[in-house]
Structure 1
Amino acid sequence: MSSALPPEIQIMVTRNLQQQDLSRTVLLNKEWYSTCNPQLYHTVRLSTPLQRQRFLSLFMSGSISRHATHVKFLLTRHLEILPQLMRLLNSNSPTTTVTAELSLVGLEILPHRTLRILTSEEDDILLSFLKKNPQLLHLAIWRVSENAGLYLATIARSLPNLCTLSIFDVLGIRPPFVFRESAVRFLETCSADLERLVLAWETLSYADVAIDQYDYNDNGDDGDGEVQDSPATKSHPALRFLAARVNSDTVLSSFIEGSPGLQAVIHPEFQRRRVNTLFQHSSPLHLALQQITGVRYMELSVPAAISDDGTIASLISTINNSQDGVKQQWRTISIEGTINGERGGPGEIVKAIVENCRQGLVHLHIPQGWQLESQDVHSILCNVMDLRVFNVVHLPRISASDVISSPWGCRWLTKLAIQIFNIPRPDILIDRKGCVRSSSERAAEGTVEASRAIQRKVYQQLGALTCLEFLDLGLDIENGSREELVDDIDGTIYDPQFQLNCLELSLASGLDLLGDLQNLRSLRTVGMEHRIGIPELHWMMAHFPRLELFIGLDPEVCYLPLFLRPTREYEPEPGVRHWLSAQDSWAMLQ
């Protein structure tokens, strides 16, 4: 049977097929086989024990060897498979029976629940694998190594063509120590083709320690042959995005000066900075950014003592009062105190943010987020175009009707913390107090189909934020959002903040519309009457491979002291607790 579609259309079709559908399509005829087979083996993802088992079966049967030339991306939690893949790297050897040579473009070491720090054996395996794959363009290591200097040296020397690099940025783990000289040398000699760079380390000088560390100037020979130093290249014209969890900005400043195309920098120094007045930060890092962009970046931290909306709005508006003609933009705004905006519409502060921060604002910190009205939150997300971190302590509430009213403009957002409410949930049978809801009460909320139609529109809005790494939809238990329970007249203790009119987070309600959030690292659903069951967990494992932290999966409020627990226990979906106990490699689950 001959295909009626031209090859170009066939390729477009195969790129939108799931793995299971691809495996069936290759059996149609020779034309579909030649089109689909490269796509079938293009990305090897070993994020679950089942995927690892299937891969080993295919490897033993010779399928991987025969189709190795099609494998371009490898995502794995299991480093023990790398030595087997190294056998496919030298097909010209007379002692090998490999029929196709492996030439990876991308390698990603996924986070691991229990093995978050690489062992010395894993270091040896991974470093050897990197040296044998100089053609790599994309590398991400979501685990920490105590031999960080050796990794930096190996990457700079052995991977001269890297376009994206993420290394050592692991949630809840202290970054590794790196000598200042090694850090500077790495930034000077790493690939000039880098477009995206994510780093995490703590810089040390030689005076800080009295122990032997890896010397960057060592030739790095481990028996596989001498590795020559890469020529210094202080210019990185392709770099667009830099996220650095590094404790010294002076190490980065000269690197930034050689990156004229840099569009975004996320650095801890731009966060959690508290001062008593408006100020212009003149660190080497800010000055370097000003030099390459021509923009003076400013920071504003409003102390809790200042709570008048008009005063705070005036401070935000001063960004346009440059005395020397240099263009100024807010980069960080932190408002510690109370916001007293008028109910039913955006307050003066939000209006000032929207009018003065459409461009440039990267970090917005409003600890008292619960004071924001639904329209305030929606206005910020629609208009602050460069926003990447929307950080709050007490999560603001936004109505589903506002969420779906217009597209959000903050497409670069990496952190979002909101409670989405006003979603009718006729499927909920028990209220907060443990009482059965009447049929008339549920009928007033409409049908389940109508509810899920609304939810699908909400998922579409969230799913468009493809850069999201941190998504909080539930209560923030770490900062005291759930301090008080209510003792009803009849003696029933219940939690008034537990969300009933929230997203189901079920596949039936449209959870799969979040499939593009492949960068998601942390998900919080605390205090939500969600419907996350076994099918949803398997879907998340497949589509959120970088997820490191998942809090709120079990809705029982077990973190409260026993005498404060409500009589109503929020049970998870059937089988979830047993499933949780069986996991040993996926995200940290709570």
Structure 2
Amino acid sequence: MNPAPNLPPELLCLITHHLSHQDLVQIVRINRSWYSTCSPLLWKTVRLLYTSRRLSEPAQRAFLRHSRYVRPLQTRFFRPIKAFLEAPDLYLETIDILNNNLHSDVIDPCMSADSEALLIALLKKSPHLRTLRIKRSPKVSLPLLNIIATVLPRFRFLSLFCPQGMPWVSPATMKAFLEACSPETEQLSAWVIVEEDNEEQVESPLWELKDKDKHACEIERKHHQCFISDGHDSVSDHSSQKSPPSHPALHMLCLSGYFFDHEEDVVIPFLRGCKNLQMIESPDEYRNDKCWITDNYRIRAAIEEATGSTLRRLAIAPSGAGAESEITDEDVAQLILAGQSHRSDGRKEVWHTLHLEGNPLLGPLTADAILQTCTSGLVWLNISGCQGIRGHHIQAILTIAVHLRNLDAACRGDSEATDSRLYVSQILQSNTPWVCWSLRRN
């Protein structure tokens, strides 16, 4: 019996888009017509999250028949990738390499050499890739970075590595990688450690490297000559490049980790080609003594030159911790309002960081000033301990702060009148949704 004798394929396709994966599994068994219409949807997304074994023979044969339909791949393991390498037709658009442990806090942040080889082989077969997220780190970053920059000409969203396993990258390697990235890139995020390749770096107690890590550094040095740029071994050798590569589509750049005073040489040439950059984040969120974006005049100048905006930072000492301990709600509000303006030369000054932690006197006036000035540019907001800034203020900020990425607002007052927690009821009662599309910490 034909269950839908009069439905044209176009209408049938629209209906099946609203069905669950389990429903599709049943429907493809009805007849050839339903099988032909629904198989592409059934195989569109492949998730390998619960087993590290290779696919069974029946599963592998079925996958090879339908591999041309697969677009996103999400996996915690590398061994099943071998099935993708055998596929005759592969048009992956998204690859997500997740943490390898689903039910435990113990996570191995690094991938083995064999796993990295499988991933590199898969990337070589995926020239149509638009999104790549790797939440693991290679022992040696150079081969993987080389493949990403040279084999994937169309990727738009790139997120590399994890805080626990940040790979070591030489300054020249990181600089060359940034310059060679796809000009279509819209978001670029990476956890890396950028340091010169010398023995002092290896022996530094800050690294606490093991013998295998020293070996990885040696491999990095040997392979550096064949990377994507002109093969020079120092950042200064690249300074003769007359015009920086252009990345007009890039609007979010997040380089987190340790740059060990190579921020200017690595990042500035890249920033000059990012005319539409809207959000940029420090390489290390934990080094509060140094913010290489707003505290470095050369980096600020490069951003200003490229985008026409000057990023600013305001840090108010906690109450009772210095000369500013008597600062009032009105004082801070006026500072925030005065800090965002259009200059006579046409450039715009915007807040990138507002660090107001530990000031219980701050309240509605400060919150209102933030609301008036944080519609663009503000990436980091710390209002922990500001008991006068209530939950509904935080909700309002989240509905207009488009570029907000880090929000620290953990605070509980002594009474309900000073409670600055954000309640679910306040979110549900609001008619305006959150607009911070890249919020990662709150």
Question: TM-score by structure 1 length?
Answer: 0.59
Asked whether 1:41 is paired with 2:43, we answer yes
For residues 137-152 of structure 1, what are the structure 2 equivalents within 5 Å?
137-152=130-145
For residues 182-193 of structure 1, what are the structure 2 equivalents within 5 Å?
182-193=173-184
Inter-CA distance 31–285: structure 2 relative to 1 (3 Å threshold): farther
Distance (whole Å) between structure 1 residues aligned to residue 134 and residue 276 of structure 2? 25
8 Å CA contact 2:406, 2:441 repeated in 1: no
For residues 431-580 of structure 1, what are the structure 2 equivalents within 5 Å?
469-470=440-441
Distance (whole Å) between structure 2 residues aligned to residue 403 and residue 372 of structure 1? 16
For residues 387-426 of structure 1, what are the structure 2 equivalents within 5 Å?
387-394=404-411, 396-415=420-439
Aligned length: 384
Inter-CA distance 176–406: structure 2 relative to 1 (3 Å threshold): same
8 Å CA contact 2:401, 2:436 repeated in 1: no
The Cα offsets for residues 105-150 of structure 1, whole Å up to 9 and x where unpaired, read as 3222111233321112222222233234334332221101121122
Structure 1 equivalent of residue 357 of structure 2: 336
For residues 277-316 of structure 1, what are the structure 2 equivalents within 5 Å?
281-304=295-318, 305=322, 306=324, 307-316=327-336
Distance (whole Å) between structure 2 residues aligned to residue 388 and residue 59 of structure 1? 41
8 Å CA contact 1:189, 1:233 repeated in 2: no
Distance (whole Å) between structure 1 residues aligned to residue 287 and residue 429 of structure 2? 32
Distance (whole Å) between structure 2 residues aligned to residue 83 and residue 356 of structure 1? 51
Compute the displacement of 1:300 (Å).
0.4
Unaligned runs of 5+ in 1: 92-100, 221-231, 416-468, 472-590
Structure 1 equivalent of residue 76 of structure 2: 77
Inter-CA distance 349–219: structure 2 relative to 1 (3 Å threshold): closer
Asked whether 1:354 is paired with 2:365, we answer no
Pick from 178, 196, 203 the counterpart of residue 205 of structure 1: 196
Structure 1 equivalent of residue 224 of structure 2: 216
Inter-CA distance 328–349: structure 2 relative to 1 (3 Å threshold): same
8 Å CA contact 1:297, 1:328 repeated in 2: yes
Compute the displacement of 1:370 (Å).
5.1
Inter-CA distance 127–280: structure 2 relative to 1 (3 Å threshold): closer
8 Å CA contact 1:3, 1:32 repeated in 2: no
Asked whether 1:103 is paired with 2:103, we answer no
SS of 2:43's partner is helix
261-270 or 71-80, larger mean C-alpha shift: 261-270
* Aligned AA (1:205): E
The Cα offsets for residues 317-370 of structure 1, whole Å up to 9 and x where unpaired, read as 2124666453211111010332325xxxx6211111112223322211112155
8 Å CA contact 2:92, 2:128 repeated in 1: yes
Structure 2 equivalent of residue 97 of structure 1: none
SS of 1:80's partner is coil
Distance (whole Å) between structure 2 residues aligned to residue 15 and residue 285 of structure 1? 47
Question: TM-score by structure 2 length?
Answer: 0.77
8 Å CA contact 1:142, 1:167 repeated in 2: yes
8 Å CA contact 1:82, 1:129 repeated in 2: yes
Compute the displacement of 1:371 (Å).
4.9
Distance (whole Å) between structure 2 residues aligned to residue 237 and residue 334 of structure 1? 30
8 Å CA contact 2:135, 2:160 repeated in 1: yes
Distance (whole Å) between structure 1 residues aligned to residue 48 and residue 314 of structure 2? 45
Distance (whole Å) between structure 2 residues aligned to residue 233 and residue 5 of structure 1? 55
Structure 1 equivalent of residue 237 of structure 2: none
Compute the displacement of 1:202 (Å).
1.0
Asked whether 1:162 is paired with 2:155, we answer yes
* Aligned AA (2:436): W
Distance (whole Å) between structure 1 residues aligned to residue 390 and residue 128 of structure 2? 51
* Aligned AA (1:200): W
8 Å CA contact 1:192, 1:233 repeated in 2: no
* Aligned AA (1:372): I
8 Å CA contact 2:53, 2:80 repeated in 1: no
8 Å CA contact 1:384, 1:409 repeated in 2: no
Distance (whole Å) between structure 2 residues aligned to residue 70 and residue 320 of structure 1? 49
8 Å CA contact 1:369, 1:393 repeated in 2: no
Asked whether 1:123 is paired with 2:116, we answer yes
Structure 2 equivalent of residue 112 of structure 1: 100
Inter-CA distance 408–299: structure 2 relative to 1 (3 Å threshold): farther
Distance (whole Å) between structure 2 residues aligned to residue 174 and residue 65 of structure 1? 34
Distance (whole Å) between structure 2 residues aligned to residue 270 and residue 470 of structure 1? 11
8 Å CA contact 1:190, 1:233 repeated in 2: no
8 Å CA contact 1:159, 1:191 repeated in 2: yes
Pick from 379, 392, 399 the counterpart of residue 382 of structure 1: 399
Inter-CA distance 212–282: structure 2 relative to 1 (3 Å threshold): closer
